[in-house]
Amino acid sequence: MRARTRHHWIVMFRLPHKLLLAALLIMLIAAVVEPNPMAWLFGLVVGLFAFLRWQTWNAEWVILTGKRIIRVQGVAETTSTEASLRLDRVSGARLIQTVPGKLLDYGTIELEAPGDHPDVRRLRRIAEPHHFYLELRRVVFGDGVPLDPDDDPYGYVTEPLPPMPGPHRFGRRRHG
């Protein structure tokens, strides 16, 4: 295993499904109107929902080996799924970080590869994306990039452009 990461903890705060959100809102209104029995039920349902979100987040990993990217989802004791992509199929990679992503250290890595790999092609909101991205580039493209993300993570992006020839080297020269 070369690198391993998971989704950032921020994914636990995404909105639930519309039906579940509607049911929670109805329960909240009922708990405000008749607080004694409904408040306990509402608290129990929200607590159960939060536990299930945490359990799902805790059971998902993205693993980079020398030959594959593997995404494992689910609790091993119950139902789990695994998707993988061979690294020799990857032709490009892109790291996307929004302003909140830079502040909280999460990002999305998009991989370019032929075929359909929906679970592995776009790795959304993963934690510490620079370390994983740099190691991915090292394995796939053989980049000699620094592994430590504190060692100028943006220094590997491009090399300086060669000097452009002056205008006298292009087109026809006028004599006379």
φ, ψ of residue 168 to 5 degrees: the values are -75, -15
Residue 97 pLDDT exceeds 90: yes
Does 160 reside within a domain? Answer: no
Does 49 reside within a domain? Answer: yes
Q: Name the token pair of 71.
A: 């995404």
DSSP SS3 for 110: strand
Q: Name the token pair of 6.
A: 């998971």
Does 125 reside within a domain? Answer: yes
Quick check: pTM over 0.75? no
How would you label 43-67 residue by residue, b for 16+ Cβ within 10 Å and e otherwise?
Answer: eeeeeeeeeeeeeeeebbebbbeee
The CATH number of residue 15's host domain is 2.30.29.30
7, 9, 21, 22, 51 from 105: Cα distances, Å: 11, 10, 28, 32, 24
What is the domain count for the chain? Answer: 1
Residue 40 pLDDT exceeds 80: no
Mean pLDDT of 48-75: 85
Residue 167 pLDDT exceeds 70: no
Contact between residue 49 and residue 57 where contact means Cβ atoms under 8 Å apart: no
Does 175 reside within a domain? Answer: no
